[in-house]
Amino acid sequence: MSKTVSHLVAVNGAERAIEFYTKAFGARETSRLSGPDGKIGHAELMLGEALLMLADEHPDFGALSPHTVGGSPVRLHLTVDDTDAVVERAVAAGATVLRPVKNEFYGDEAQRRYASALEAR
């Protein structure tokens, strides 16, 4: 039995999301299935050793994006070696910093510098 959990995210504009994750976080696209309408039905990205699956929203299948449902309680946590550099790349790729990077008392001993929230548009 597998002990891995992978995220499957429905978004408005999967093509833009893939471009953002590639530019901001160095993601590598490994798979893409597009429908005749050009919408992405399923794509897989590797962020380091982590798999992120995403697709355009498909309301007829119940796959709704956070934009459509008014937000999401789900957050993705990315562990990196240089938080400041990654946040800088994310902003250059179009992200907005909602809470600035700062040192925190919690977290891994070697990695206590956090950007609490980034939002991509």
H or E element in which residue 95 lies? strand 95-103
CATH pick for 1-74 out of 1.10.540.10, 3.40.190.10, 3.30.720.120, 3.40.640.10: 3.30.720.120
Is residue 119 very low, low, confident or very high in pLDDT (cuts 50, 70, 90)? low
Q: Looking at the predicted structure, is the pLDDT value of residue 114 above 80?
A: no
H or E element in which residue 92 lies? helix 83-92
Is residue 74 very low, low, confident or very high in pLDDT (cuts 50, 70, 90)? confident
State what percent of residues in the chain have pLDDT above 70.
86
Ranges in the chain annotated CATH 3.30.720.120: 1-74
The pLDDT tens digits of the residues spanning 10-64 come to 999 999 999 999 999 999 999 999 999 999 999 999 998 899 999 999 999 899 9
What per-residue confidence (pLDDT) applies to 21?
Answer: 93
| Of 89, 69, 94, 67, the residue nearest 78 (C-alpha) | 89
H or E element in which residue 23 lies? helix 14-25
Does the pTM exceed 0.85? no
